[in-house]
Amino acid sequence: MSTPNPKPAGAERRNYLRMQDEVILRYRLLPTAEDGAAACCEQVDRFTLAAGFLARTQSLRPLWQSIHNQSPEIAKYLSALDEKLNQIAQLFMLQELEGEASPCREVNLGAGGLGFDSSQPLPVGAVLEVRMVLPASLLGLIALARVLRCEPREGGTYWTAVEFTEIREQDRDLLVRHLLNRQLEARRQAHG
């Protein structure tokens, strides 16, 4: 059985970084905590390709800066190649989303989990595989999550709160960056 990743330093702060946002969300109930745990966060597929590319680009940023300092033309060429790969990854994501009736839904999003309306009640303690797309960047993130709460609401839906128990660190970093950018954008609009 896979054990949850220990919370890294600063995890408490990231749990306070929460906001209402719109994402494309898919989830499925896993029969037991073990099912899919190892494969869930380790797989690279069309869904997670763009996020993987972005994380790799960010990790190579110091090397790119060194190349840029020595040869700006080569750095420009490498940036163009990177952009081409990102466009291919985004195309794959669009193909994955093809056929979605109303893909975006409002959620309460944080680095440690999310809250969303579900059409069916989900048992507290159940493990979900969560696939989430950040529409502005077409980044696909995947995680395992444990249901913390599931409460009935008017209209026959259920407010469900989940905590991420397995998530690639690069995906959590992308999520934190997304939340910070959205908060900055909201502040600019409020003061603009």
- CA–CA separation, 38 vs 35, rounded Å? 8
Q: What is the pLDDT of residues 132-185, one digit of tens each?
A: 888 877 788 889 999 999 999 998 999 999 999 999 888 898 899 899 988 888
pLDDT in tens, 54-96: 777 778 888 888 888 998 898 888 888 888 887 777 777 777 7
pTM over 0.85: no
CA distances from 140 to 25, 74, 164, 177, 189 (A): 10, 30, 15, 14, 26
Complete domains list, the chain, with CATH? 16-191 (2.40.10.220)
DSSP H/E element including 185: helix 169-191
